[in-house]
Structures are given as structure tokens and as C-alpha cells.
């Protein structure tokens, strides 16, 4: 194979939606729902009680044997669960009801559930799961118990007004009747705790589950007690954007609460966000430019009240030129979610456009699409000339998609020339494309080399190859080559590869140069490190004199000791005295060894324990000497006499 290999690719165009008023750039696709169904299927086979409950809420187990095995399995899982009693009881009751298990609850279990309200509650979460368990069992809570629960809920919210505590309170208050209406006044307290992400999304601390819990709760409680919408339209869009951003959730609970939250926001009436989205890949054909737009809710379903007036403004992105104002998009009778506009009358040219879609003057969405054009070869000329020729070269014209009948010949003293002009088929204007290549492929071996065709000042694509100068790139392999012109662009619909001509190339140095391409691999010579030669040492006499000078302090010490005398009578053979002198001697010995062979780090590691030992012994020695001196002093004797 040749050394130069260029991979030709046509870039795919991706439309880009831009967040608009009360609209989100996407919705839950069918592929997302299918993936979540697989998550629920995995959840049923798991050993997690919570996952089984949320999975059985969303898919039905039709196999009787599998259902019976699962019914007996969840009883065991319930006993081993680490969840709180109220929570795992709720999941057990819910799972058994969802599976329609034949087994009945034991009297002991039911007694525990019924007596749960007689026990103290530690959080709004406990109240929520206990009330929910009663509801699943079909048991009505008496007024006295409701009054007690409302009072407990009020006290708990005074102590704990975290977002999770408020979330459970919102969801349970709607089940407790009018006496719990005070909880609805706390909605604003919860909403202000939302965190904004990138200016596009809103979420609560705790992630998807907590955010969905609060959103579902605030809409439920405001609806129950006829309160104003809990969110603004802008907040609703940002929460919806967050939920859609979490569509890849991998847990059964996460998938369930995500779907529920999107359903809640889709049914939020005047503040419900919708999705206005381009259908397809956003590429329109120039001969039939039909703009298709889908208008759906967050789950991809048709709106309950479809918009009646949908129009758009089409703008050329490059220079902001307005192509059309108030383009009417008409709903298709076969599918009420699709609105289409025929743009043929506006004669859009090749390029990228922005469509500002407006629905009922309430919803707006800006999206990007592309109108594809068709490229046409206006002219192509090819020829061979001498490398040093200064006169004009005779070229032959070739019409697309034909191949030149004559086989061209070129050797190392010549060059190959090609010139082509490309135009837009609809406007007949000369155009520039993203990719224009000339490919030379050897006819027998299919080895190939690709060159880039450059555009000159007149926007004509030119290819000029000196055969001799490029011989090495061909491996000096003479023979017949097929010449192709490759044209590609993301904004044209008819990219092509055209076999223009055949050419016989001859390289004069083929036999002389080819052997040099052989690479003989053998071990390289061993690399030996050369150390710097040691510097010249001083004469022996200089070294001896220096050593003598270093020993002078020690000699003087012994001389002074001889003249002054050494008082060894005070030396007591006690542990502190022996230890101090031994440690001091050890330090001197260590310094001697350091001078001979140790480095600084080794010396410090040994010095630290010796120095600590010497310090402690020296401290006790000095204290003992001081005590002896005080005992022998006259003042001490007189004091003793007075005392007696």
C-alpha cells in the first residue's frame, strides 16, 4: 500500500434546536420508553424490594408460575430489607397488589400496619408511607387519626423544612383533607430551594428522585386545595429540561418517577411546556423543500388542545437575510402532531437556515435546518505537459460522467494537469465545496494515492502533479492508473466520485531506488555510559597538613585536660550519668561514621533517637547535680537549723 491514504467522508448534518418560550428542545422518545421497559424487566428479577415495586407498577407479569415465584420471593426480601419499617411495608403491599398474589397478609403483619399510627412518627416520610399503605389496603383513616397526623406533620415541618421533608409533606397532605391545607403555603419555601444549572435547568438537591417527588407533590397539593400554579412558565420549562436530561436513568424507581414527573408537567395547563421539533435530520431537498415540524407534549404525544395557528419565519443564517415571513404550517390530517410548510414558492438556495416557529402566539421555538443543493460539473479539462514548459498546454475536455477514451501517458519529465469548474445546478453560480480530491488508483493492484484539488482565484479547482517529484509517494511503481475526481459537501445531495481518465505513469528510477526501500533491522551497538574522569587530587603533603589541622581541637582538648586536671570524683555510676555519656559518645561516633561512609539522610535517621535519649539522660543528670549543689550550700544548712 502507498504511504498516503486519505479517507473520504461526507459530514452528516445535525439540526440544532434552541430553547424557546414555553418549549423544550426534545421529548421522551419511543426508544427511551423501550429502554425503560428493559429497566423495569431487570428490576422485577432483582432482589431489591423497591425496584420490584416500581417495576410491577409499569409492566405486568403474565406468566402464572413466574408470578407465584415472585410473590413468595418478595416476602423473604421484605424480611431482609434494610429500609425503614413503614417504607418496606408499603413496597410489600404495593408489590403484592400489583402482582395479584393469592397469598393473604398475615394477621401479625396487618396488625403492625394498622397500629402504625399509634406509634410516634419521626419524619414526614414515615407519615407518607403509612398513609399510602392504608390507601393500598383500602382502609379509611378515621378523623381522630387524621387530626393526630396533621398535628404531627405541622410539628415536623417546624423542625425540619428540608426539601425532602417538604416533598413528602406535599404528597401526603392531599390525602389528609382540608385540615392539612396549611402545607400548601409551604410550596414557595420548597421552590426557592431549587438549584439552577447552566441557566437552562432547575433541580433540587438530591437529584432525580427528590426533584420528581417535590414537583409531583406541589402540583398535587395546589390542585387539591385550589391554589395558584406553583411554578412560572419559565421554571416549568427548566424543570422539564432537567427531567429530559436524565432520560438515561438506569434504576426502576428513577425511570418511574421520571415518567410521572413529565406527565405532571405535561398536564400543568397554562404553564405546561411543549416540544416543537424538526422531523428528520433537518436536511431539505432543493427541488422539494418541505419543512416538517412535530408539536407534541413531553412524552411525545399529541397535545390535548392542539395549536390552531402555527407559522414560521425563515432566515438565512449566514447573513440574517429573511427568506419568508409568516410561513403557514398546516396540520396533516393523518397525524395531528405534524405540521408542514412547502417552501418551494420562496425558492430557497443551498445553505443553512433558521426557522422561528410560533404556535398560537404562545409557544416559540427556533431551530436550524439545511437546504441541500445539487452540484454540477460545468467543465473539466485534463492534460499532460513538460515540467519546464512555459508555453500553454493542450488540454482535453471531458463531459460528466464520461471517461476520456484516450489513455494519457506521463513520465518523470512531465506533469499532469486538471482543471474543473463546479456550479450550483439551480442557480448556475460557481460554488465552493468542502471536499474536492483527485484519486489515482493503480489498475492492477488497486493501490491508491489521493491529492487535494485547490481552488484558484477564479474558483476553479486545479490539480498540478509533477510526476518526477512525486515518484517516492507512488513507490516508483510504473503502470496504468485510474484518475478519479471526488466531490463532496454536507450541503449538496449528489456528492460523486467520477472516473475521469486513465493515465500511464513511468518512473525512470524505479530499479535504482526500489532496493533502497528495503529496511534491514539488526541490533544497534551497545550504548556504554562514559563517566567523567575524576579530578586530580592534591599532593599527599597537602592532605596530611589539612588532616592535622582538623585534629588540632582534639589535641588541644587533651592538653588542657592535662594542665587543668579532670575531676572524675563526682562521677556517679547511676543510669542518667552513664546514659548521658554513652549517648554523647554515640553522637561523636556517628559523626565519625558520617564523615567516612554515611550520607546526610542516613545520619539524621540514626541521630534522632540517640539525641532524644541523650537529652533525657542529660536533663536528669543536670537536675541531680543541681539538687546536690543546693544540698551542700550554706544557706541550705542554715535553713535546716532554723527549721529545727
User: Looking at residue 522, what is its pLDDT?
Assistant: 66
- pLDDT per position as a tens digit, 537-561: 788 888 888 888 888 887 887 788 7
DSSP assigned state of 288: B
Do β-strands 363-372 and 375-386 pair in parallel, antiparallel, or remain unpaired?
Answer: unpaired
Total count of residues recorded for the chain: 644
pLDDT surpasses 60 at 644: no
Q: Which helix (H) or strand (E) holds 215?
A: helix 208-224
User: Where in the chain are the domains?
Assistant: 26-272, 277-372, 375-517, 547-630
Which residue's C-alpha cell is 553522637? 587
Say if residue 14's pLDDT is above 70. Answer: no
What is the radius of gyration, based on Cα positions, of the chain?
A: 45
pLDDT band at 533 (very low <50, low <70, confident <90, very high): confident
Predicted confidence at residue 389, as pLDDT, reads: 66
Q: How large a percentage of the chain has pLDDT more than 90?
A: 35
User: Any idea which of 422-431, 548-557, 562-571 has the lowest mean pLDDT?
Assistant: 562-571
pLDDT at residue 568, rounded to an integer:
66
13 burial level (CB within 10 Å; 0-12, 13-18, 19+): middle
b (16+ CB within 10 A) / e for 544-576: eeeeeeeeeeeeeeeeeeeeeeeeeeeeeeeeb
Sequence-ordered list of residues with C-beta below 8 angstroms from that of 235, at least 6 positions apart, any chain:
191, 194, 202
- Alpha-carbon distance values, 71 to 63, 64, 484, 561, 624 (Å): 12, 10, 69, 100, 85
Q: Please check the confidence at residue 214 and state whether its pLDDT lies above 70.
A: yes
Query: What's the pLDDT at 514?
Result: 45
**Residues in CB range of 77: below 8 A, 6 or more apart:** 47, 48, 49, 52
Residue 73 in this model has a pLDDT that exceeds 70: yes
| Lowest-confidence region among 424-433, 602-611, 626-635 | 626-635
Same CATH topology for 26-272 and 375-517?
Answer: no
Residue 592 pLDDT exceeds 50: yes
Sign of the alpha-carbon dihedral angle for 442, 448, 449, 450: positive
Fold of the domain built from segment(s) 277-372: Immunoglobulin-like (2.60.40)
Among candidate residues 227, 231, 225, the one with its CA nearest the CA of residue 273: 231
CA distance 105 to 71: 11
Identify which of 363, 407, 380 has the alpha carbon closest to the alpha carbon of residue 463. 380
Region 595-623: what's the mean pLDDT?
Answer: 89
Nearest to 168 by CA among 137, 118, 120, 209: 209
Average pLDDT on 489-516 reads 78
How far apart are alpha carbons 248 and 39 in whole angstroms?
10
- 375-517 CATH fold: Immunoglobulin-like (2.60.40)
At residue 634, does pLDDT exceed 50?
yes
Specify whether domain 26-272 bears CATH 2.60.40: no
Nearest partner of 420 among 478, 384, 381, judged by Cα: 381
430: nearest Cα among 440, 438, 420: 420
Amino acid at each position: 500500500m502507498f504511504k498516503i491514504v486519505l479517507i473520504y467522508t461526507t459530514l452528516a448534518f445535525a439540526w440544532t434546536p434552541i430553547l424557546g418560550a414555553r418549549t423544550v428542545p426534545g421529548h421522551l422518545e419511543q426508544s427511551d420508553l423501550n429502554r425503560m421497559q428493559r429497566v423495569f424487566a431487570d428490576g422485577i428479577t432483582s432482589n431489591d424490594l423497591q425496584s420490584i415495586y416500581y417495576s410491577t407498577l409499569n409492566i405486568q407479569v403474565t406468566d402464572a408460575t413466574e408470578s407465584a415465584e415472585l410473590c413468595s420471593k418478595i416476602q423473604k426480601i421484605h424480611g431482609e430489607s434494610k429500609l425503614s419499617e413503614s417504607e418496606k411495608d408499603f413496597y410489600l403491599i404495593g408489590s403484592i397488589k400489583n402482582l395479584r398474589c393469592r397469598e393473604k397478609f398475615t394477621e401479625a403483619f396487618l396488625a403492625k400496619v394498622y397500629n402504625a399510627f399509634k406509634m410516634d412518627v419521626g419524619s414526614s416520610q414515615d407519615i407518607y408511607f403509612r398513609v399510602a399503605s392504608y390507601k393500598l389496603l383500602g382502609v379509611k383513616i378515621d378523623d381522630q387519626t387524621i387530626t393526630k397526623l396533621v398535628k404531627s406533620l405541622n410539628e415536623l415541618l417546624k423542625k425540619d423544612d428540608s426539601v425532602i421533608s417538604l416533598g413528602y409533606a406535599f404528597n401526603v397532605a392531599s390525602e389528609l383533607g382540608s385540615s392539612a391545607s396549611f402545607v400548601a403555603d409551604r410550596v414557595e419555601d420548597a421552590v426557592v430551594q431549587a438549584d439552577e444549572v447552566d441557566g437552562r435547568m432547575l433541580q433540587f438537591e438530591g437529584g432525580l428522585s427528590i426533584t420528581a417527588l417535590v414537583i409531583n407533590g406541589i402540583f398535587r397539593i395546589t390542585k387539591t386545595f385550589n391554589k395558584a400554579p406553583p411554578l412560572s412558565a419559565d421554571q416549568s420549562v427548566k424543570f422539564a429540561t432537567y427531567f429530559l436530561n436524565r432520560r438515561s436513568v438506569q434504576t426502576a424507581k428513577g425511570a418511574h418517577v421520571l415518567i410521572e414527573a413529565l406527565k405532571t408537567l405535561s398536564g400543568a395547563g397554562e404553564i405546561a411546556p411543549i416540544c416543537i421539533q424538526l422531523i428528520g435530520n433537518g436536511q431539505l431537498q432543493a427541488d422539494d423543500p418541505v419543512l416538517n415540524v412535530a408539536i407534541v407534549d413531553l412524552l411525545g404525544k399529541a397535545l390535548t388542545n392542539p395549536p390552531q395557528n402555527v407559522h414560521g419565519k425563515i432566515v438565512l443564517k449566514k447573513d440574517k437575510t429573511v427568506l419568508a415571513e409568516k410561513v403557514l404550517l398546516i396540520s396533516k390530517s393523518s397525524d395531528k402532531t405534524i405540521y408542514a410548510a412547502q417552501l418551494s414558492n420562496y425558492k430557497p438556495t443551498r445553505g443553512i437556515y433558521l426557522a422561528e416557529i410560533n404556535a398560537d402566539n404562545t409557544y416559540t421555538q427556533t431551530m436550524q435546518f439545511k437546504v441541500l443543493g445539487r452540484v454540477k460539473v460545468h467543465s473539466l479539462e485534463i492534460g499532460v505537459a513538460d515540467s519546464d514548459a512555459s508555453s500553454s498546454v493542450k488540454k482535453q475536455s471531458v463531459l460528466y460522467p464520461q471517461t476520456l477514451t484516450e489513455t494519457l501517458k506521463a513520465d518523470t519529465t512531465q506533469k499532469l494537469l486538471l482543471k474543473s469548474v463546479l456550479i450550483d445546478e439551480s442557480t448556475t453560480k460557481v460554488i465552493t465545496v468542502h471536499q474536492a480530491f483527485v484519486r489515482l488508483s493503480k489498475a492492477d493492484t488497486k493501490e491508491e494515492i489521493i491529492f487535494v484539488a485547490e481552488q484558484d482565484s477564479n474558483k476553479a479547482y486545479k490539480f498540478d502533479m509533477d510526476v518526477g517529484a512525486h515518484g517516492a509517494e507512488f513507490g516508483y511503481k510504473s503502470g496504468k492508473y485510474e484518475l478519479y475526481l471526488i466531490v463532496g459537501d454536507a450541503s449538496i445531495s449528489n456528492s460523486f466520485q467520477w472516473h475521469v481518465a486513465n493515465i500511464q505513469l513511468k518512473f525512470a528510477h524505479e530499479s535504482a531506488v526500489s532496493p533502497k526501500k528495503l529496511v534491514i533491522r539488526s541490533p544497534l551497538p551497545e550504548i556504554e555510559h562514559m563517566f567523567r574522569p575524576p579530578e586530580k587530587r592534591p599532593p599527599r603533603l597537602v592532605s596530611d597538613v589539612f588532616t592535622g589541622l582538623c585534629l588540632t581541637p582534639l589535641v588541644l582538648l587533651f592538653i588542657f585536660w592535662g594542665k587543668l586536671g579532670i575531676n572524675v570524683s563526682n562521677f556517679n555510676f547511676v543510669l542518667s550519668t552513664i546514659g548521658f555519656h554513652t549517648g554523647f559518645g554515640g553522637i561523636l561516633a556517628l559523626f565519625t561514621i558520617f564523615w567516612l561512609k554515611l550520607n546526610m539522610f542516613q545520619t539524621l535517621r540514626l541521630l534522632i533517637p540517640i539525641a532524644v535519649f541523650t537529652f533525657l539522660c542529660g536533663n536528669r543528670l543536670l537536675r541531680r547535680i543541681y539538687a546536690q549543689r543546693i544540698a551542700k550550700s550554706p544557706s541550705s544548712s542554715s535553713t535546716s537549723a532554723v527549721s529545727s
